[in-house]
Chains A and B, each alone.
Chain A
């Protein structure tokens, strides 16, 4: 049972454009929603995270939008740069449980 569904699987964006990745979850007990960035040969690195009491959180060029009623959240990367090319994972967790990850989005930023 896939509890966190992520789309799209791959995404190509022009330099300077906005990259948007979406996730939907099923478990209403989830109360922590992070986004991770992973480069080849590296472990995932936390980009930004949000809790359900907030509808939006912005850190630099990265913004999370959260819709509790729809059980959806998304990552927006503004002014996308070639260095942003990586695989992005949304995740969710509750209480003392581990993270449940989406399947990932392979993002390519074209110069």
Chain B
């Protein structure tokens, strides 16, 4: 059984660019959530995907969008990058919704916006 994997590990972009981050969920998990973790802070919930549909969203603008594929892998897309978007982006998978099931986190993608 493989855990949650994320790619790339590190990424450097410039302000105004667009970025796509990828996540492969743990085997058998049908729910993927994305979090943003700024340096020295706790993770902040961006959104959750269940069976390919967005199901729950935190306080993030529409330029943060996502997709979930039939194999339950997921992408996080961020448009019009801002300096404050520099952070560790974490993907977590679970079998069902967060409130009732354990979430398993990946190692994250470190995004730097210059």
The total number of A-B Cβ pairs within 8 Å is 70
In A22-46, the 8 Å CB interface with B consists of: 31-32, 34, 36, 41-46
Chain A minimum-CB-distance residue to B4? A43
Interface bracket on B: 20 to 34
Interchain CB contact under 8 A, B35 and A98:
yes
Residue from A91, A96, A102 whose CB has the most chain B CB atoms within 10 Å: A96
Interchain CB contact under 8 A, A49 and B102:
yes
The 10 closest A-B pairs by CB, nearest first: A98-B45, A101-B42, A43-B105, A96-B97, A32-B99, A93-B99, A44-B105, A93-B98, A43-B107, A101-B43
Residues in chain A within 8 A of chain B (CB atoms): 6, 31-32, 34, 36, 41-46, 49, 89, 91, 93-104
Sampled A-B contacts (24; CB under 8 Å): A32-B98, A32-B99, A34-B102, A41-B107, A43-B106, A43-B107, A43-B108, A44-B43, A46-B102, A46-B103, A49-B102, A93-B98, A94-B99, A96-B55, A96-B98, A97-B98, A98-B46, A99-B33, A99-B43, A100-B45, A101-B42, A101-B44, A104-B40, A104-B41
